Every structure is written in C-alpha cells, then in structure tokens.
Chains A and B, each alone.
Chain A
Amino acid sequence: MKKIWYVLWVRNRTAVTLVGFLILWQLAVTVFRIQEVFLPSPISALMHLFFRQPDASYLWIKNISATLFEILIGFAVTIFLGIFIAIIVSWSQMSRKFFIPLFIFINSLPIVAIAPIILLWLGYGLYTNVLIAFLVSFFPMVMNTTTGLNSVDEDLLDLVRYHGAKKWQILVKIRFPNSLTYIFSGLKICSTLIVVGVIVGEFVASDKGLGYIIVNSQFTLDTPAIFAALILIAIIGLGLFGLVSFLEKLLMPWQKAANG
C-alpha cells in the first residue's frame, strides 16, 4: 500500500503538489469563512469551468483555444527572434553597445503603459497580442542567450583560432552548443512571461480569450470566473514550462535537470 502511494507521488509530483495546494486553499476558505467576492473557493471556481452557469455563459473552449493559439505563436516568435537578436548582439562589440541599452530601455517600460499606443498602431487582434507578448518576454531570451554565447572557454577559442577557424564556425560549433543551458533557462523564464504577456494583451484589447473573461467578470464582480480563468492560465503556463523541460531533457541528455 505504501509503495503505491510512493509510485503515485514520484510519477505525478507536479499534479500531487497542485492538488495539495487546491485542497489547502479550499480548507482556508472554508475555515476562515472568506467571502466569495474576496477569494472564492477552488470548488466554486471549478464549478464555473465545468457546469453551465445560469446567468452567464463563458464559452470556455473557444476562449481557451484563442489564448492558447496566441501563446504558441508568441512563444515561437520569441524563441526565434530572441536567439536571432542574441546572435546579432553578441557578434561584435559595436552591435552590443548599440542594442543592449535600447533593449533595457524598451524592457523597463511597463507594457501596460505602452499597450494603448500599440493598440492605436495595430488595432485589435492577434498581431497586437503577439507583439505585446513578445515585448514582455524577449528580454530574458536575449540576455541569457547572449551571456551563453559569450561565456566560452577562452583557451578553446585560442585553440580553434590557431587552427584558422572562421567566426561563424566558432558560433555554430562552440558558442551555440555552449549557450544551450542558458537558452533553456531563458526559455523557462519566457514560458511564463509569454503567458502573462498574452493575457495582458487581451486585457487591453480583445474580444475573446481568458484575459477577456477576466476583464469581463471583473466588471460583473464574478470572482469565481476570474479564478477559474487564473487557474487555467496557470495550468497553461505549467504545461509550457513542462514542454520546455521535456525538450531540454531530450536535447541535452548529459545535463542533469535543474528544475524539472
């Protein structure tokens, strides 16, 4: 009997932890008699998810798929553009001095403050949300990849240069493999930021998606729906993080999982 529990725990640590968290939350709400407007119980949040509400229909499937679609596109754009920018930035001292301050500048601006301007430029829809998500999440990707590309063993570089290696050869064969650990660490940070970015984009301008549900139910003070959406968002974030961890194990089997 004990063994079964142990196997269950090892196989599904993440799920077990999360279920434990939900149970604790439910207990806290019941014991302290917290009003639903402040903090709804997870059960009432989940009821909103799985049962049709009498006064409002939330079309969860449609909204989830809208958000998921934006997240996946935003994530793909961020990965490719982030790595590409990092390669350009780390290519020469000159480009580094030019780009890094610019990126810090862009990234220090709270996206909520610029979002209305982006809305003005691009209008409603997918592009706005993807752009906002990209702006929120590209910085960790660029920083980590650049650090990885640059923190190469100097002796190795000397050796390869002595043999007459070209700059792009060094990039492809030494710098890039060396930066993989950094890239995956950046991807993990990105995976949660991209979710945040897409949701914030939907707050500002959207007619569908989980962010739209949150804004909408904030008006009607329907807190259980907000929390149902938040739980879904967090689960999407966890899924993306898990996907990145899985890819990391697949692509770098020699590396011990740092935070699986």
Chain B
Amino acid sequence: MIRMQRHPQSIKMKIAAFFKKNYLILLQIIGFFVLWQVIIVAFNIREYIIPSPLAVFTVLFNPEASAAYQWGKQIAATLTEIACGFAISAVLGILIAVVISWSRLIRSLVMPLLVFFNSIPKIAMAPLFLIWFGYGIIPNAMIAILIAFFPVIINTAAGMNAVDQDLLDLVNYLHGTRWQILIKIQFPNALPFIFSGLKISTTLCVVGAIIGEFIASDRGLGFVLMDSQALIDTPPMFAGLIVIAVLGLGLFGLVSFFERLLIPWQKTGV
C-alpha cells in the first residue's frame, strides 16, 4: 500500500511495465504463430493435416464462425471439471501424504496400491469408468483427480521427510510433540515440494478432464476435439488444443502466484 502511494502509476505505465517484464513470453507466442503460418503457406500444407493459425483464430474469434461451436459453454464445462479436479486432488493429495508420512503401517498399506493404480493407463479403464460412474461433469472431474493427485502425494511425502535431522533432534530434546513437528517443521519444509507437485498436477488435471470428455460427454473442449476429429474438421480441433493449453498455462500461473505469495523466501524460479 505504501509503495503504491509513493509511486502513483498510471495505467499506461503499468502496461509498459507489464510488457517490459513479459516481452519474452509475448515474443515467443507471437513468433510461434507467425512461424506456424509461414510454414503452412511455404510448404503448402493442406488443412486436414494442419490448419493455418488464421483459420484457427477465425473459428475461435470470428462471431459468425465461432457461434456454431459455443465456445463459452464448452470452456465453462471443461473449466469446472478442471477446477473441481485440481482443488480436490490438491487437498486429497496433501492429506494422504500427511497420513502416509505419519505412520509406517499406513504407508506400507496404501503406497503399493497407489503405485498400482497409477501405473494403469486411465484410458484403458475408461470404458469401466463409464459403466461405473456414468457420464457428465463429476465423472470427468474424478478422472482428472485420479490422474493428477499422485504427484502431489509423492512430492509432499518427500518434502515432509527431507527435514534436517539436527533440527528434529533439537525439537525432540525440547519435548516437541509429533503434531508440533508436523505443523511447524515438516509442513513448512515441504512447501517447495508441494508447490512443485501442484504445478505438475495442474497440467495433468487439464489432461485428465479432456480425456474424460473424450470418453463420454456432450460438452466441453474434449467433446469439441472428438467431434471435429470425426468430421476431419481440423481448425476447431486446433482451436480446442490452443484453448486447452491456455487453460493449463493459466492454472500453472495461478499456482506460481500462490507460491510466490506463500513462500517468498524461496527462489524456485518457475
């Protein structure tokens, strides 16, 4: 607050500062699309193999062309699944990790099963999910959770256990209870690990929701992909992929933002 009063910034200056800070990313994105367009034109690639970015953006932003695809509705559906999936897998993952690192018995009971289920490709289980859970937003969120919660568990558990032994000895000597050790030493120590796990699970969550929609749904970006794949209508397919990637980037940015907010002393740098 104090800083803001000292340096009253106009919106213009803020925009300039934003560009100065993020010019590399912006250049990269623009360069990517320009390169894509040039390659398509130069090598005369046909649209059913890879569409040009212009065609893709027409499908996305041209009011007439985009009306047929109802992007708002599709994005809202996918976003709900991703948000629910991510929130639940974060909470569930951290909880399971705390329990696992709390007791050896529970760890040896739970860990093999977790690895077991995580090795199984969810796409192979897909028809079963359809039979068991039906279809809609909740089953898709569940698939997202199943795919995304494992990295959070592994990373959190690793962070909880990678505590300085001297510190533990000291606290044990001072009669710190196990609960206190967990809250005051293990958990803060695990924070960089947790955030790294959350970042991994953001993209997995996006993939999970989309895969859920591939299998069975009547809306969402995965549905758009499937639908346009069936019609060999590539522009909406690539538009869908771009929107999916933007959602992934956004969620990742959100986690990074919270990381900087909660552990400002840690320079994780990503």
Q: CB within 8 Å of B: which residues of A?
A: 13-14, 17-18, 21, 38-39, 89-90, 93-94, 96-98, 100-102, 104-105, 107-113, 117, 120, 139-140, 143-144, 146-147, 150-151, 154, 181-182, 184-185, 188-189, 192, 195-196, 199-200, 203, 211, 214, 218, 226, 230, 233-234, 236-238, 241, 254-260
Contact = CB atoms under 8 A, between A and B. Distances in A.
A151 to B, nearest CB: 5
A70 B158 CA distance: 28
B119 interface: yes
Contacts of B70: none
A188 B150 CA distance: 10
The main secondary structure of chain B at its interface with chain A is helix
B120 interface: yes
B123 A101 contact: no
Nearest to A255: B162
A230 B121 CA distance: 8
Interface of B: 24-25, 28-29, 49-50, 100-101, 107-109, 111-113, 115-125, 127-128, 131, 150-151, 153-155, 157-158, 160-162, 165, 192-193, 195-196, 199-200, 203, 206-207, 210-211, 214, 222, 225, 229, 237, 241, 244-245, 247-249, 252, 266-270
A39 B132 CA distance: 10
A80 to B, nearest CB: 19
A101 B119 contact: no
A244 B199 CA distance: 22
Contact of A108 (B117, B165, B206): B206
B207 A181 contact: no
Given A110-B210, A192-B115, A150 B268 contact: yes
A104 B203 contact: yes
A117 B210 CA distance: 18
A258 to B, nearest CB: 4
